[in-house]
Amino acid sequence: MGTRCEVRAFGPEVETDAALDAALDRIAALEQVLTTWKPDGELAQLNTAAANGSTCGTPNGWQSLSSELTDAVNAALSWSGRTGGAFDPTLGALLQAWGQKSGGRVPTVDERVVAQTKSGTRCLEFDRRRQRLCVRCVGVEFDLGGIGKGIALDRAAELLKARGINNALLDFGGQVLALGSPPQEPGWLIDIADPRDRDKHVMTLQLRDKSVSTSSNSERFFEQDGKRYGHILDPRTGTPLATTDQVTVIADHATDADAASTALLVDPALRQQVAKLASGMTAIALSPASNNQLECWADSSALRSIVKREATVRGCR
Ligand code: ADP
Ligand code: MG
């Protein structure tokens, strides 16, 4: 998934080493299923079939999915439903139009409108029970970049727990899963980056048995004619979000935290109902303000996990 994965764990050395190797292997195997970066991956092949005109109603319309991909598509579609489409795993054609995998470019209005007709969950039919799907729009492209790291983290954590590793910190390109805690500590310390300078930290959380995902549109972007375009798109407009906010979501499961942090950035109204979106879910949003300050919004359960904050962070007390 084009990023680093770091795991720290406490336990007897030999067993822990073997469990960590197995967890990293599990992540690598999932990447092969979920990524669209490798042409021979399962999801990439599904996109190729859709591009070649295998649509619902044609003889080869239904595509069989592995159980891993079935679960991932199911989770992604469920998050699309829960967020009123703010999270949209079918906007690959739009991401292509904006050159998100090739350095970035601003598409013409026509290009954008065409890509929008190939995006959206109305473009597919999903049959979970029979583990298959078919597409209604030629050229619809799945992109699970907004949820894949979370899925991989949840599966890796399940594997570690099954092998008796109950205290570990998994960090997958900034998305974190905290299992248990370090010895004699109430939880793992997790730093939250400054949205204006990701090498700096402005806040520290202490958490156990939770996952933390942070999304902002300044994390990955390209510039054209002096304007910045980020990697998260608003599915309603087909354009990159203009916000400079950063949203951190804390949840019991990494899959949920991952999808929700993307969705809460796209649709700020969802922040008010974050506790209803998934079990144990809570959020913190940071918005750059004047005088080098960061305006902070957090709901009450998120506040309890903040153990340190820089003076530049205003509010959320
Ligand atoms: P990161 O992967 O940088 O941690 P996110 O988890 O927020 O950030 O996911 C961003 C990725 O999700 C994008 O790179 C793209 O692949 C995909 N994406 C972009 N916009 C959306 C959206 N509105 N809904 C779902 N996925 C999206
Ligand atoms: Mg995400």
Q: What is the pLDDT of residues 236-272, one digit of tens each?
A: 999 999 999 999 999 999 999 999 999 999 999 999 9
Ligand 1 neighbours (beta carbon < 6 A): 87-89, 91, 95, 143, 145-146, 174-175, 215, 219-220, 231-233, 235, 258, 261-262, 266
Q: Which residues of the chain have pLDDT under 50?
A: none
Which pLDDT belongs to residue 316? 85
pTM: 0.95
Q: Hey, what are 246's tokens?
A: 């950063």
Contacts of 290 (CB under 8 A, 6+ apart): none
Give residues whose Cβ lies within 5 Å of ion ligand 2.
146, 258, 261-262
Q: Which ligand 1 atom sits closest to the C-alpha of 143?
A: 16
- The predicted-structure confidence for 156-171, as pLDDT tens digits, reads as follows 999 999 999 999 999 9
Ligand 2 centre from 260 Cα, in Å?
Answer: 7
Ligand 2 centre from 230 Cα, in Å?
Answer: 14
Which pLDDT belongs to residue 15? 85
Cα 175–Cα 307–Cα 156 angle in degrees, nearest 5: 25
Name which residue sits closest to atom 6 of ligand 1, judged by CA.
Answer: 146
Ligand 1 centre from 307 Cα, in Å?
Answer: 28
- The predicted-structure confidence for 183-199, as pLDDT tens digits, reads as follows 999 999 999 999 999 89
Q: Which ligand 1 atom sits closest to the C-alpha of 173?
A: 4
Site to probe by mutation for ligand 1, drawn from 3, 116, 153, 232 as the one with most ligand atoms within 8 Å of Cβ, is 232
Count of Cβ atoms closer than 10 Å to residue 13 Cβ: 7
